[in-house]
Amino acid sequence: MVYLQGLPLEDTLKWLDSLENIPIAKQSARFYICKATVLQSINDLEKVLEVFETAVINNAKPSDELAKSLTAIIKEISEEREKQARQSKQLEKQVQKENIFESSSIKYCVRQVTPFSKR
């Protein structure tokens, strides 16, 4: 796939969109799987589902390949989202732990003070 070889995402999508006008591509499950795989890299589940919806509307064959890849892509995107959610929660916990300390006295106090030039 050209995207995996380093072609930018926008150029890859333009290229795939131009292939969509070819009748054989419209009926090929591999075409839609390729397009969904490229869109998977940006974790946009809605666009991936639109690609598979278009594949079903155009009666792409073999349908079992579509079903398997749809399941795999949805699973990977959901796992990535869960991973990102866990990382953000861990970051929040680290920040909170660093700011909490036990002390019996206050050593420093921050107050608003007028500047020396105005005194």
Look at residue 45 in the predicted model and tell me its pLDDT.
84
Q: What is the CATH number of domain 9-118?
A: 1.25.40
Instruction: Please write the tens of the pLDDT for every residue from 22-81.
Output: 888 888 889 889 888 888 888 778 888 898 899 999 888 888 898 899 899 889 888 888
Look at residue 47 and give its three-state secondary structure. helix
Q: According to the 3-state scheme, what is the secondary structure of 66-87?
A: HHHHHHHHHHHHHHHHHHHHHH
